[in-house]
Structure 1
Amino acid sequence: MATVDRLYALYNIIDDAKDKAGEHETEFQEILTGVKGGAGERRLTSQFIARFFHHFPSQQEQALNALFDLCEDDDVAIRKQAIKDLPTLCRDKPELVAKVADILAQLLQMEDTGEVATVHNSLLTLLKMDSKGTLTGLFYQMEHSDDELVRERCIRFLHGKVRVLGPQVLTTDVENLIVTEAKKVLQVVSSEEELSCMMGVLRELKMYKSVKGFQQLVDLVAEQVDFTRTLDTTDTESTHRVVSCVKQALPLFSSQVRSTQFIEYMWREVVPALDDHLEAMDNGALVLEVLKILAELVPHAGNVEEIVNKITVIYHKLLEVMPLPPEGDAATEALEGGVSLEFSRVECLLYTFHQLAKQHNEFLTADQQRLKDFRIRLQYFARVSQAYQKRLREALANKTGDELKTEENKIKLIALKTTANINVLIKDLFHQPPSYKASISLSWKPVTSSGGKSMTNGAEKRHTPITFDSNTSPKSQKTERQIYAPPRDKYSQRAGQYSGGGGGGGNFRGQGRGGRGRGIGFPGSRGAYYRGGFRGRRGGFRGGY
């Protein structure tokens, strides 16, 4: 077993030989014995293996295994050194890239963030050296690893790096490889985050930057949903999976990429379960998620089938969450105890109704009694909503930028946007006849320049209270009537949870969305620490060595 001094002596012998270094195989074999030495010997051995590896073809399998052993060393410094040295072996041996990438992918399960960063750097070096070989190793772990953490971190690594790789790395052949393998991975992802990251990888590819590419991605999501199968809505995991898949398609829809198939599937398989199963199981968060998805799907659905039936369904669900004004003693009780209204659901349902009714604007006007009843409800909801907005503005007045970033104030900002959106839609429906021209930015969607404008026009602008009179329109209303009592102490952390990004937003009553969870419906566990499972998997890689 070579000592530090002996290792340096062996290094000098081989290095001084220059072009004849390959003649010193005995010396290189002695260097390999350093893996059984102390910390200093093991670290030098890693460096010297990387330095002379290409000179000794007959010893390369043994040298490679020695370096793999050092990747599992007890000393973190030695592990990092070996991980850093691994890509060096592939410079003159491109056939090793997939194997080394596979081993590095397994090492992503390490707990130390510094080690994980070292693995990232080595994988990035390999990607630039041989992208196809590296991706082959990464995707093998994504598809076949029994360790959920390994699969998750491989997907997250690729998602984070694909956007910084230039066209020299992401060639057409490489993009085709990613697409082929990504389709396989989508069959085994075990969480919404993994699904989102993998779809994010595909959205970064050049081939998917066009309208045609968006349509192809939508078709890929449709394959995951499988419109031909019947959804068992008593199984909430299956429903979660459908919801998670459809959410990935939402950013892709436009006037050129229609959401019609998704609307029809949701209406056929999911909407009937809102009352029958999901609500009965007290799964309010999932119900709200479904309502949000419907609201985002309808603007891009084109001409949907059985439009009157769909409007009727939404209309009746609106009646459930938009009550008639209280009267007599009930009104007094409301004044004393406040009211509890489901603003988040109302925003979703009202927006969906508004979008669908554009295609059949006689729905309300064809029945004057229905119109009158609906407007009484809208008027009451608008008054409470406006009073709610006033309280929210007062609570947010004079807050600094940092103060507005607290969780409580984020929730209040979402609440302000939600109530503003509701009032904009109600005002449109109070036109004579009802109008369907208003445009809003849904409260849970990320704020953009257009969304910011909508916030200004909605949340920051005071509205004249909306009242119903069969002989007048909102424009002729000059004086404020006495408003109903606003909600008292109904807005708190229990009122909902704010979550950034496309799937966030508050639920102003009941529970908001929870954390990430593992809600997509694929059971699994993170597996053991890597020392318990890393050895023995080397031979499982399909490329082999």
Structure 2
Amino acid sequence: MATVDRLYTLYNIISDAKDKAPEHKKEFAEILTGVKGGPGERRLTSQFIARFYTYFPEHQDQALNTLFDLCEDDDVAIRKQAIKDLPTLCKGKTELVPKVADILAQLLQMEDSGELATVQNSLVQLLKTDAKGTLTGLFYQIQHSEDELVRERCITFLHSKIKILGPNVFNTEVENLVLTEAKKVLTAALSEDEFVLMMGILKELKVCKNVKGYQQMVELVAEQVDFARPLDATDLESVHRLAACTKQALPYFSHTIKSTKFVEYMWREVVPALDTLQAGATEANNNAALILDLLKVMAELVPYAGTVESLEAKVKAIYAKLLDVMPLPPEGEAATQALEGGVSLEFSRVECLLFIFHHLARNHADFLANDADRLKDFRTRLQYFARVSQAYQKRLREAVSNKSGAELKTEENKIKLIALKTTANINILIKDLFHQPPSYKAKISLSWKPVSGSSASNVANGTEKRHTPIKFDEKDAKKPKTDRQIYAPPRDKYSQKAGGGARGRSRSRGRGFGSNRGGSFRGGFRGRRGGYRNY
């Protein structure tokens, strides 16, 4: 076993030999024995293997195994040294890259932040040396590792480095490899998080940033949703998975890439399931947030649906859901109680449902125009909702007026701004429906979509466009406006009712994401000691 002094002597012998260095096989073999020594010997052994590796092909398997052993050393400093030295072995020997990348990918399970950063830096060096070989090793772990943490960190690593390294490393050929391998991963994704992370990688690829690429992204999501599979509303994991998957397709729909198949599936499976979800809603579960999440997805799908089947049936189905959350105005003592205690209305759900109805009914205008009783009932509900909404807006506006930019960024004020946008959207759509006959020309930006800083500032300072109070008189729709008593606004409801949504990440392992492939994987590496997979 070589000591520290002996290792330095052996280093000088080989280094001074220069072109004749390959003749000193015995000296290099003796350097490898340093792995059995103390911390100093083991650290020097790692460095010297990296320095002289290419000169001694007959010892390369043993040297590589020695470095892999040092990557599992009890001493963190030695582990970091070995991890740092691994990419050096691959310079001029790219056939080693997939093996080394495979091992480094498994080391992403490290909890120490400094050690994890060293692993990531070594993987970056490998990507610069041979991107395709590195991706081969990384994707092997993504597809086959039994450790969820390893898979997730491999995907996260790729996502971040595609942005940073750019086209110098991720050229068209490399991007096509990522796309091919990513499709395999998405087919057997174990969890919602893995699916979302992998879609995030594809989003960054230049080859996916065109119409053809967008279509591929939508098709990948469609495969995951599986339109032939019925939705079991009692299986909340499956419902969560549907919402999460479909969200990944939303950015890619346009007047060229239609959402028709998704819309048809939503009306066939989701709309009937809403009642089941509502009936199962309790304080212990998050069904209310899940229902709102589904409605938001449907609202974003509808504008790009194109021609849908059974339009009248779809309009009726959404209209029925809309009536459930848009009550008739109370009468008598109930009205007084409403004035005194306020009312609680589902503003966020109404925005979604009213937007969906407005979009669909524009192609089926007879639904309201040719049914006087239905129109009268609907407008009575609309008028009541508008009056409460406008009173609600007033309170919200007072709460955020004259707030500074920093103050508006607090969680509470963000919710209030979304609530303001929600009620404003509702009033715009209601006003459109109060035309004679009902109009479907108004366009809005849905409240949960990002808003510009200037728009938020206008809301806060009370300078945003105000909407004329909505009134309806069947006998004379153009009577002069008169002062009317309005209902008291909801009390302390906006933090729950307006703009609410599911929080936190779902770790769904429902159908469509595969099954658990095993327990946590922490004990060493696959393919070590020369028994490597064929890459």
Cross-structure match for 1:364: 368
Q: Give the match for residue 481 of structure 1.
A: 484
Question: What's the CA shift string for 1:351-385, capped at 9, x where partnerless?
Answer: 11111111112211111111111111111111111
2:356 paired residue number: 352
* SS at 1:230 equivalent: coil
Match of 2:263 in 1: 263
Partner of 2:471: helix, strand, or coil? coil
Alignment correspondent of 2:397: 393
Partners of 2:530 and 2:399 in 1: CA distance:
60
What's 1:501 paired with? none
Q: In the alignment, is the contact (CA less than 8 A) between 1:416 and 1:459 conserved in 2?
A: no
Residues 131, 174 of structure 2: 8 Å contact kept: yes
1:253 partner letter:
F
Q: Residue 505 of structure 2: which of 484, 501, 516 is its match?
A: 516
Counterpart secondary structure, 1:152: helix
Identity fraction in percent: 70
Write the mapping of 1:202-281 to structure 2, written as runs, cut at 5 A: 202-277=202-277, 279-281=279-281
2:528 paired residue number: 538
Out of 436, 441, 452, the residue aligned to residue 440 of structure 2 is 436
Compared CA separation, residues 100 and 250, structure 1 to 2 (3 A): same
Find the counterpart in structure 1 of residue 290 from structure 2.
286
| SS of equivalent to 1:163 | helix
Match status 1:141 vs 2:144: no
Hey, what does 2:451 align to over in structure 1?
447
Q: Is the 8 A contact 1:375 1:468 kept in 2?
A: yes
Give the letter for the 1:303 counterpart: T
- Cα deviation for residue 230 of structure 1 reads 2.6
Deviates more, 1:465-474 or 1:289-298: 465-474
The one-letter code matched in structure 2 to 1:506 is G
Describe the shift of the 1:151–1:455 C-alpha distance in structure 2 as closer, same or farther (beyond 3 A).
farther
TM-score (norm 2): 0.92
- Residue 459 of structure 2 corresponds to residue 466 of structure 1: no
Q: Which runs of 5+ in 1 are unaligned?
A: 497-504
The answer to whether the 8 A contact 2:7-2:44 is kept is: yes
Please say if residues 427 and 466 of structure 1, whose CA atoms lie closer than 8 Å, have aligned partners that are also in contact.
yes
Structure 1 range deviating more: 32-41 or 60-69: 32-41
Give the direction of change, closer, same or farther, for the CA distance of 1:107–1:113 in structure 2 (3 Å limit): same
Partner of 2:106: 106
Instruction: Report what 1:402 is aligned to.
Output: 406
**Deviating more after overlay: 447-456 vs 185-194:** 447-456
Which runs of no fewer than 5 residues in structure 2 stay unpaired?
none
d(CA) in 1 for partners of 2:240, 2:70 = 43
Deviation at 1:539, TM superposition (A): 7.1
Q: Which amino acid aligns with 2:533?
A: G
Q: Does structure 2 conserve the Cα–Cα contact (< 8 Å) formed by 1:244 and 1:520?
A: no
2:382 and 2:197 map into 1 onto residues whose CA distance is 41
Distance 2:532 2:228 in 1: 34
Q: CA deviation at 1:429?
A: 1.2
Q: Secondary structure at the match of 1:186?
A: helix
Report Cα offsets for 1:265-314 as digits up to 9, x if no partner. 11112221111356435422221111111100000001111111111111
Question: Does the aligned pair in 2 maintain the 1:240–1:520 contact within 8 Å?
Answer: no
What is the alpha-carbon distance in structure 1 between the residues aligned to residue 529 and residue 475 of structure 2?
82
Q: 1:351 to 1:119 in 2, by over 3 A?
A: same
Instruction: Find 2:346's aligned residue among 320, 330, 342.
Output: 342
Question: Residue 231 of structure 1 aligns to a residue in which SS?
Answer: coil
Task: Give the aligned CA root-mean-square deviation in angstroms.
Answer: 2.6
Aligned-partner residue type, residue 488 of structure 1: R
Mapped to 2, the partners of 1:157 and 1:11 lie a distance apart of: 36
What displacement does 1:318 show? 0.6
Shift in Å at residue 35 of structure 1? 2.2
1:71 corresponds to which residue? 71
Query: Quick one: which amino acid aligns to residue 502 of structure 2?
Result: R
Change (3 A) 1:102 1:454: farther
Counterpart contact for 1:149–1:527, Cα < 8 Å: no
Query: Contact (CA 8 Å) 2:61, 2:530: kept in 1 or not?
Result: no
Equivalent residues of 1:279, 1:287 under 8 A apart: no
Distance verdict in 2 for CA 1:51–1:230, change over 3 Å = same
Number of aligned residue pairs: 528
Take 1:376 and 1:146, find their aligned partners in 2: how far apart are those partners?
Answer: 59
In the alignment, residue 128 of structure 1 is paired with which amino acid?
Answer: K
- Amino acid in the other structure paired with 1:221: V
Distance 1:313 1:451 in 2: 34
- Tell me how far apart the structure 2 counterparts of residues 26 and 101 of structure 1 sit (CA, whole Å): 29
User: Aligned equivalents of 1:539 and 1:226: distance in 2?
Assistant: 43
Question: Which stretch of structure 1 is more off in the superposition, 368-377 or 201-210?
Answer: 201-210
Q: Which moved more, 1:93-102 or 1:116-125?
A: 116-125
For 2:16, the equivalent position in structure 1 comes to 16
SS in 2 for 1:418: helix
- Distance change (3 Å), C-alpha of 1:483 and 1:216: same
